[in-house]
A and B are shown apart, each in its own frame.
Chain A
């Protein structure tokens, strides 16, 4: 494995040709997906015989202990092979980091935590027998209401919960114009279409998991750690993932219980969380309370900006870092951010699409709208005059690698017809519809992770890419093929991509929008290595190489790749290793969202009429798949603004609306044709690909644009997301 160190800005390289990269190529995995031939975790059959089925019994209380658990009836039920509870479950790794031990004791930590596992010959038998496990509990009083627990919140033991620059208190107190507002965002659920699901099979002491996971090498680490077996004894396969949005960054109960059940039953076991179990048993995005204070001069220039966030989680778990974008987005001399964490007994909170910014911008970008009104300024102009080309906490010594926020705002305003917006709310009617427009800035921190790949030039001159990278709908298969095709001068149909197998080189995985840029850079690194090996074999020494049409050209000579590949082919491994450029430069993707809504004056129903996002995110590797990512983010942002909320029963401590009938996500009828525009940009500090993350940018700020449009339409400002009709109706004139 050869490391390609990326610690100086990228110079010109073969990717810049953009013959294949940068073009809207159809997904190469598309024909398999549309014909039902792409295998997801539960679809595997080959090499898996005599399979048994698992079903999880979840805790019926949120906190307390199991007094008695009676499995006799379940064990006697037809087809049942075994029932596992804390009384007979094997010892596992501890409750720490991202390990996921199951059935560890009689204590209940959250509602629907697994308390028993039933394994039976058939799914129907396991499901029905699960209802026969009799459990009595002693419940304990729990902490379920963030508004109350906020008082007990403490400064968490994390990297950087607080930041401070200048003197915020003094700067804000002295500011001629002041805004002090508090927003709340609810718990939200990923609701990816494919449930958490695993098939586990043991051969001796070696375990194979066909599972649905975004991060294969983390899955290996955490499965091995939880089961207390060597990592090399675990193989994870996750070639197709039916959506993740952060839910599948870490292993969940399905993987661990399938493995434990399969070992105990001596047969392969298939186990999926039932849809109504997912919201409470697995993870969600935690609710927040956010106080934002902004002080400006009379012209709207920000003098002081402060963002305080409260969230709750299980003991030892993390904050929702919703103030992170406020550290970077706008200028201002005196600044502060803080995060406080309350220990609560709701299910485990964790990352969901754009953790931090997605809900942080729901507050910040609505506050900017309120501020614009207070200043009697256009909200686009307010954002533009507060642009800053360096990290405003660190100063000009840490410039942004690229930052086209102003260009996004101006371009979007022009395309959207922003000048037609009536700044006075509640003025525009279309029949019974109150019509309004809103804007929101988008920023998403650009993350990168070391990523490896193996690229093999095969006999006959085709190329195979193998990497642990996953494709969770993001288009990884296609952009990795485009990268290799560009680097090696081959047409797309000569490149095959295999993903999601832990036997392949370790990759960045899919999460935090780091996947596309990091994993294509990994393939770039492997292709650089392969190009050198090819050159050597062709006897070109250190000459300038051109790869074109299945041939390599140098020194006036051409050699076909097929002839060089020989009988055995040529394989090259490479890994992109990121240096400190992301410390020296602030790196983020930027955008601007423009939304027009109609609000029914009699019912308070909101409809999205138009939605435009303009994005600048470095090189767009494939405009077709990137646009689709933006559509998805925008739509999830519309959901956050209008409907998505895990409703907490504060008496019993669980999310009540735990399925797709009760937790509303946008459907076809909610979403009109959306528009996405990418501004041209290359970021030579991000990677040799000069690309940045785009999968989460779409959700960042869009919900606030919707909320601001609702305010413009109605004159009603709701600071408690989601903006459901009941909250509007009581205040509509």
Chain B
């Protein structure tokens, strides 16, 4: 995973690694490679390190002081009360936690909040409200693109960003001509396969995405 926002990296001491196994995941997955400053870790009342982080959540900046083990998903859900994003697996396997970070969709359970200092995070709440639905949200209702609704925030965030990826000419596994990326149901099915819907409203989700795509072209 890259750090497209170019935000402040952080470093971890050997001692911190021993203290928290979860942090090693963060190092292994990437953004701590360019070590330029000392750790901001502090010892809290509970004698655990915390770090300050600023998240721009749905356009509103929030300054938080977080345990560095807190995922972006849990920062949103448990610290900012944005509970629309769901924790289906906490392991990057289901897609229910998908958010749009600096324009790209990511599994928010697989990334630590402190890696996103200054990042612009869009959750399902940032796309629209029941009274003012985003076109993708409205299309999901119209085409019944869900049943239980638990994967739905992730499906919708993923769909919105995914259409952008096709528009930007980013190829996928099923793209035949890498220089000519075009919308097709097959492309959408491939690109949405990281978002599992056990209720399996899949054909309806594809219909909703197709309608939004056609409305945009």
Binary per-residue interface labels of chain B (181-201) against chain A in the complex, 1 for a CB within 8 Å, 0 otherwise: 000010011101111111111
B137 CB contacts on chain A under 8 angstroms: 31, 34-35
Bound complex: CA A667 to CA B200 (Å): 8
B149 touches A (CB below 8 Å):
yes
**How far does the Cβ of B199 sit from chain A's closest Cβ, in whole Å?**
5
Nearest neighbor of B137 in chain A, beta-carbon distance: A34
Asked if B150 and A34 sit within 8 Å, CB to CB, the answer is no
Bound complex: CA A671 to CA B152 (Å): 18
Nearest neighbor of B141 in chain A, beta-carbon distance: A30
A507 CB contacts on chain B under 8 angstroms: none
A30 CB contacts on chain B under 8 angstroms: 140-141, 144, 146
State which residues 222-245 of A face B: CB under 8 Å: 240-245
Q: Which of A34, A124, A190 contacts B146 (CB 8 A)?
A: A34
Q: Which of B81, B93, B130, B147 contacts A629 (CB 8 A)?
A: B147
State which residues 123-146 of B face A: CB under 8 Å: 123-125, 127-131, 133, 137-138, 140-142, 144, 146
Asked if A193 and B148 sit within 8 Å, CB to CB, the answer is yes
Known contacts being A37-B130, A472-B148, is A193 close to B94, with CB within 8 Å? yes
A40 touches B (CB below 8 Å):
yes
State which residues 28-62 of A face B: CB under 8 Å: 29-40, 42-43, 45
**How far does the Cβ of B79 sit from chain A's closest Cβ, in whole Å?**
10
Q: Is the interface of A mostly helix, strand, loop or mixed?
A: loop
State which residues 455-487 of A face B: CB under 8 Å: 472-475
A194 CB contacts on chain B under 8 angstroms: 86, 88, 148, 150
Asked if B196 and A667 sit within 8 Å, CB to CB, the answer is yes
Nearest neighbor of A40 in chain B, beta-carbon distance: B150
Stretch at the interface among B7-15, B32-40, B203-211: B203-211
- Number of A interface residues at 8 Å Cβ cutoff, please give it: 68
**How far does the Cβ of A81 sit from chain B's closest Cβ, in whole Å?**
11
Asked if A628 and B196 sit within 8 Å, CB to CB, the answer is no
Bound complex: CA A272 to CA B96 (Å): 15
Asked if B144 and A624 sit within 8 Å, CB to CB, the answer is yes
Asked if B192 and A36 sit within 8 Å, CB to CB, the answer is no
Bound complex: CA A666 to CA B205 (Å): 14
B120 touches A (CB below 8 Å):
no
Q: Which of B69, B149, B205 contacts A124 (CB 8 A)?
A: B69
Asked if A242 and B86 sit within 8 Å, CB to CB, the answer is yes
Asked if A275 and B88 sit within 8 Å, CB to CB, the answer is yes
A694 touches B (CB below 8 Å):
no
Q: Which of B22, B91, B141, B199 contacts A275 (CB 8 A)?
A: B91
11 CB-based A-B contacts, threshold 8 Å: A26-B141, A30-B141, A31-B137, A35-B127, A122-B78, A125-B48, A195-B89, A244-B148, A667-B195, A668-B190, A668-B202
Excluding A33-B152, A34-B141, A128-B69, 5 further A-B contacts by CB distance (< 8 Å) are A40-B150, A45-B83, A124-B70, A245-B198, A635-B200
Partner-A contacts on B (CB < 8 A): 20-22, 46-48, 67, 69-70, 74, 77-78, 81-91, 93-94, 96, 123-125, 127-131, 133, 137-138, 140-142, 144, 146-153, 156, 185, 188-190, 192-206
